[in-house]
Amino acid sequence: MDLLRSLPLGLYLEQPQTWLHKLDPRVKIFWLMSFLTTYILANNLWRVLLVVLLIVTTLVARIPRRVWQQQMNWLLMLCFFVLLIAAISADGFGISYQPRLPDAEGTELLVKHSGVKKAPTINNSPQAHQNSKGYSYILFAKGPVTVTRHSFGLGVSLSTIFFTVIYSTNLYLLTTAPEEITAGLESLMQPLRRLKLPVTEITLMLTLSLRFIPLVLEEIQNLIRSVMTRAINWKKLGFKGAAKIWLIVAERLLENLLLRADQMANAMVVRGFTSPNEHRVQWHTLKLTRFDKVAIALLIVFWGVRLVIGGM
């Protein structure tokens, strides 16, 4: 089990260099925030289009299939189960209410004593909400399983949001080096210096956290392999024994991560990184190119399409 290959979360793809790698990190940050905000108060059509756009972008960028195929398959499968569970769940509209018209017995007595003609019976159940065009509130009903329009729409909304949030963030980290991310954020956060906010410290912590993600995955992978090589008979241990072993593993993981963090801090102190303004290294020169300007123009079109067809 290789977590660094099956779950490439927060990892940067150094080779091959695609056109996504060459975009300015600030432009990619704006694109990422657009993906993470445009689905708010949007209809399901726009949310499905976001998923399609992310998949098409991955294919057009010619990112190697070995990098994204397994993760996308797992993510699509998870989103499908979210859609399925939400679709077959109760939609919250199954409410018992007092009927507006009297029942059959009360109607007969009313007609008999008042001489008024009997009014037609109206069925307010969802099954009866069908018109001449074939509209039906219930899309599927068989046994205990019932899928309504509201529950299906809720399932589409949850699954697409889940996919968009996870995959757009991972695609950004996959095509942007941690140093580029921090340089772009520091450039965008320059106005906050007037408020005396520690911009350099924030970007430094972000760089270290991005560098720390592969170390976490490596430690988890090593501990899982150490447990598997011992050929533990989980059936004989029972629930308490298995929980005790995994608690020991979690404790060991925390100790290893704290040890890695302490080693990283000592390495920085030895190299003279005692304050944010000392030994600062400028890895990247941020400059907008022609491709960045095209990406900005496409971003404006993207928001225009969102305002036209993406409203509720």
251 vs 233: CA distance, rounded Å: 21
What pLDDT does residue 124 have?
A: 44
Q: Which of helix, strand or coil describes residue 4?
A: helix
Helix or strand run (H / E) with residue 142: strand 138-142
Q: Which residues contact 28 (CB under 8 A, 6 or more apart)?
A: 20, 172, 175, 176, 184
As a whole number of Å, the CA-based R_g of the chain is 28
More confident residue, 187 or 133: 187
In this prediction, residues 290-295 reach a mean pLDDT of: 92
In this prediction, residues 160-179 reach a mean pLDDT of: 89
273 vs 266: CA distance, rounded Å: 10
222 vs 189: CA distance, rounded Å: 38
Write the burial class of residue 91 (CB in 10 Å: 0-12 exposed, 13-18 middle, 19+ buried): buried
Query: Per-domain residue ranges for the chain?
Result: 7-94+104-177+286-312, 200-283
Cα 225 to Cα 9, 243, 249, distances in angstroms: 19, 17, 11
Residue showing tokens 């004593």? 113
C-beta neighbour count of 261 within 10 angstroms: 13
C-beta neighbour count of 175 within 10 angstroms: 23
Cα 243 to Cα 54, 234, 238, 252, 285, distances in angstroms: 39, 10, 9, 14, 51
34 vs 303: CA distance, rounded Å: 8
pLDDT of 55 over the 90 cut: yes
Of the candidates 292, 16, 283, the one whose C-alpha atom is nearest the C-alpha of residue 175 is: 16
pLDDT of 126 over the 70 cut: no
Per residue in 177-194, pLDDT (tens digit) is 888 888 888 888 888 888
Q: Residue 73 corresponds to which tokens in the numbers above? A: 């398959």
More confident residue, 50 or 5: 50
pLDDT of 153 over the 80 cut: yes
Per residue in 94-105, pLDDT (tens digit) is 555 455 555 555
Residue showing tokens 């450039």? 187
Q: Residue 222 corresponds to which tokens in the numbers above? A: 């090593």
Of the candidates 301, 288, 214, 302, the one whose C-alpha atom is nearest the C-alpha of residue 25 is: 288
Q: Residue 49 corresponds to which tokens in the numbers above? A: 């289009």
Write the burial class of residue 100 (CB in 10 Å: 0-12 exposed, 13-18 middle, 19+ buried): exposed
